[in-house]
Amino acid sequence: MEDDVKILARNRRARHDYAIEEDFEAGIALEGSEVKSIRAGHASIAEAYVRVSEGGAWVVGMHVARYKPAGAFQPDETRSRRLLLHEREIRVLAVGVERRGMTIIPLELYLRGKLVKLRIGLGRGKRQYDKRQELRRREDERTAQRARSYRHGGDDR
């Protein structure tokens, strides 16, 4: 069965600032009005991070705008939300953070069918020279691609 995936929010700086070694798909414990707001595209994970505590994983700083038709009694927009992961996945994340000095970063917020999912990555922060090297490598690839397209008659006029 083909899963219907619709990306709602993406952390664009995550792969630039971190070398992601492993990623996980997590569900999020949300309230009804939060789900409606996320489905409408009113969520941001740019400033969010994940911490492991109290036997679970929590996403902190994820902004979900209030859903206006829901009325006055709504949760705080930036409250910590529990991530729904298996115990062994939580252990892998905890060991990565504690022993290996890594960080857990939200990568994408998306819908898989009717469910809201968050892709999180276990990664290590890149140094400034790593970022420059990556940009230089990408620019070289682009230049080489342009040269190949010109050489092979990219413009057929």
| CATH architecture of the domain formed by 5-126 | Beta Barrel (2.40)
Q: Is 128 left (phi over 0), alpha (psi -120 to 50) or beta?
A: alpha
Please enumerate in sequence order all residues whose Cβ is within 8 A of that of 21, keeping only pairs 6 or more positions apart, or say none.
102, 121, 122, 123, 124
Q: Write down the pLDDT at residue 148.
A: 87
Q: Write down the pLDDT at residue 54.
A: 85
Say which amino acid occupies 9.
A
pLDDT of 152 strictly over 70: no
Q: What is the pTM of this model?
A: 0.78
Q: Which one is predicted more confidently, 35 or 130? A: 35
pLDDT of 153 strictly over 70: no
pLDDT of 102 strictly over 70: yes
| Cα–Cα distance list, 30 to 20, 64, 140 (Å) | 26, 10, 44
Tokens 């190949």 locate to 148
Please enumerate in sequence order all residues whose Cβ is within 8 A of that of 63, keeping only pairs 6 or more positions apart, or say none.
43, 44, 45, 47, 48, 77, 78
pLDDT of 156 strictly over 60: no
Q: For 85-96, write each residue's pLDDT tens digit.
A: 999 999 999 999
Distance CA 70, CA 82 (A): 22
Kindly indicate the confidence band of residue 15, based on its pLDDT and cuts at 50, 70 and 90: confident
Kindly indicate the confidence band of residue 154, based on its pLDDT and cuts at 50, 70 and 90: low
| Cα–Cα distance list, 121 to 7, 23, 53, 157 (Å) | 16, 4, 17, 46
Residues belonging to the chain: 157
